[in-house]
Amino acid sequence: MPRDTSETTTVAQTGEFGLIRALTQDRVQPPFTLLGPGDDGALVAAPDGRVVVSTDVLVQGVHFRLDWSGPEQVGRKAVAVNLADIAAMGALPTSVLVGFACPGDLPASVLTRLTDGMWTEAERAGVGVVGGDVVRSETLVVSITALGDLNGLPPVTRSGARPGDVVAVCGRLGWAAAGLMVLGRGFRSPVGVVNAQRYPEPPYAAGPAAAAAGATAMIDVSDGLLADLGHIATASEVGIDVRTEALQPDQRLQEVAAALGADAQRWVLTGGEDHALAAAFPPNVELPAGWRRIGVVTRAEFGVTVDGQPHSGGDAGWEHWKTS
């Protein structure tokens, strides 16, 4: 059946196999895809011989709202948050697999538009959507599994940072948190800030570039800069100190914060969902293009600090099931 499914046709009316055809036909796969959707499994090239794998699940009402974001934007976000994890391992993203769970009365056009968004982001990253599954549920759920290739380099984990290393970031910080507050207040502009919440734009190429430059540890900033640097600190058994002079909010964020009575610096330090990359590098390494120094790795007993002091601004970032 054609991809432009009628707005009134439901998933149940379309049927499982009709839906799969609508979601997969006429798609152009990149060279990494040796066998795409349509068989019992996909076949993806792995030139390195090792495959980096990551999975994320997005639930309607928790990770996205269709009254805030169009299905295409949700699809872009679902792919982006997964590929950011691949890049954070220093790998080149190659492909994704998609799982949809949804009610039978959901318009089939929602899923086809979601898939269009997924392909938009997949093409931006140079990866293929190679397979997946669709099942019935009471809530719309999107699950993505992403694959990546290490290109002959060791993976960059969270556990390799050493005292004296430089801490750097690549990508925007605080924009998604600002967009969340704007949407939460009932506004839909400024569009650039709101769209940062609707779908992130991770710097995919920055991960492999950091690995090639000798990064000792890396993570994508999904839960908030301080929270995610805390994961590196814990895994590496080190402390990390960030300098606010290197993390001044963009002028646009300052304007939005002033209008909302918010703190733009707090967005930068603790706001999640931008999916920038944060990494530690040996002190004598020239940082790759796009990376900027924001701090230093210290001894473990210092913990994660801001300008040499414990963070005093409340939570360091997002955590599921946390109630207080």
Q: Does 311 belong to an annotated binding site? A: no
Let me know if residue 237 belongs to a domain: yes
Residue 165, annotated as binding a ligand: no
And the tokens for 66?
């269709």
pLDDT at 170: 98
Strand partners, 21: none
Arithmetic mean of pLDDT over the chain: 92
Q: Provide the residue range defining the domain that includes 72.
A: 11-149
d(CA 209, CA 220): 14
**What's the pLDDT band for 316 if we cut at 50, 70, 90?**
low
Residues 142, 172 within the same domain: no
Residues 250 and 288 in one domain: yes
- Write the pLDDT tens digit of every residue in 158-168: 999 999 999 99
The pLDDT, as a whole number, for residue 143 is: 96
223 is in an annotated binding site: yes
pLDDT at 259: 97
Per-residue exposure over 243-257, b if at least 16 CB sit within 10 Å of its own CB, e if not? eeeebebbeebbebb
Query: At 294, which helix (H) or strand (E)?
Result: strand 292-298
Per-residue pLDDT tens over the stretch 293-311:
999 999 999 899 999 999 8
Q: Which of 123, 149, 175 is the last residue of a domain?
A: 149
Helix (H) or strand (E) holding 82: helix 71-88
Identify the CA nearest to 197 among candidates 318, 322, 321, 323. Answer: 318
Q: Is the pLDDT of residue 1 over 50?
A: no
Residue 317 lies in a domain: no
Annotated binding residue 315: no
Distance separating alpha carbons of residues 305 and 46, to the nearest angstrom: 40
* 120 in a known ligand binding site: no
Q: Annotation-wise, does 291 bind a ligand? A: no
Shared-domain flag, residues 41 and 99: yes
Q: Is 67 annotated as a binding residue?
A: no
In a shared domain, residues 80 and 171:
no
Task: Please tell me whether 175 is known to bind a ligand.
Answer: no
Same domain assignment for residues 72 and 46: yes
Is 36 annotated in a binding site? The answer is no
Copy the structure tokens of residue 14.
Answer: 């379309």
- Whether residue 55 contacts residue 143, with contact meaning beta carbons closer than 8 Å, is answered with yes
Residue 206's nearest CA partner among 125, 104, 103 is 125
Is 220 labelled a binding residue? yes
**In a shared domain, residues 143 and 71:** yes
Instruction: Report, as an integer, the average pLDDT of 233-244.
Output: 97
Question: Bigger pLDDT: 238 or 313?
Answer: 238
Clarify whether residues 297 and 222 are in a common domain. Answer: yes
Measured distance CA(211)–CA(81) in Å, rounded:
19
Helix (H) or strand (E) holding 102: strand 92-102
Helix axis angle for 175-184 and 251-260, nearest 10°, is 30
* Residues 173, 297 within the same domain: yes
Do 138 and 170 fall into the same domain? no
Region of 189 on the Ramachandran plot (φ > 0 left; ψ -120 to 50 alpha; else beta): beta
**Residue type, position 252, single letter:** R
Q: Which two tokens stand for residue 244?
A: 């606010």
| pLDDT recorded at residue 283 | 96
pLDDT in tens, 66-121: 999 999 999 999 999 999 999 999 999 999 999 999 999 999 999 999 999 999 99
The verdict on residue 5 lying in a domain is: no
Look at residue 5 in the predicted model and tell me its pLDDT: 46
Q: Which of 149, 175, 202 is the last residue of a domain?
A: 149
Write down the pLDDT at residue 14. 78
Does residue 64 register a pLDDT over 90?
Answer: yes
Residues 231, 303 within the same domain: yes
Orientation of helix 108-125 relative to helix 16-24, angle to 10° = 30
pTM of the entire predicted model: 0.90
Q: Read off the pLDDT band of 9 (50, 70, 90).
A: confident
| pLDDT of 314 | 52
Please give the pLDDT value at position 296: 98
At 270, is the secondary structure helix, strand, or coil?
A: helix
- CATH code of the domain in which 51 resides: 3.30.1330.10
Neighbours of 13 (CB within 10 A): 15
Is the pLDDT at 317 greater than 90, yes or no? no
Q: Are 280 and 210 in contact (CB under 8 A)?
A: no
Q: What's the mean pLDDT in 130-137? A: 92
Q: What pLDDT sits at residue 293?
A: 98
Q: Residue 315's pLDDT is what?
A: 62
184 and 142: one domain?
no
Look at residue 107 in the predicted model and tell me its pLDDT.
92
What is the share, in percent, of the chain residues with pLDDT greater than 70? 94
Does 63 belong to an annotated binding site? yes
With beta carbons less than 8 A apart as the criterion, state whether 219 and 275 touch. no
Q: Is the pLDDT of residue 41 over 60?
A: yes
Q: Is residue 172 in a domain?
A: yes
Average pLDDT over residues 251-256: 97
Tell me: is residue 56 an annotated ligand-binding position.
yes
Distance of CA 88 to the CA centre of its chain: 10
Number of domains in the chain: 2
Q: Stretch 30-48: mean pLDDT, rounded? A: 91
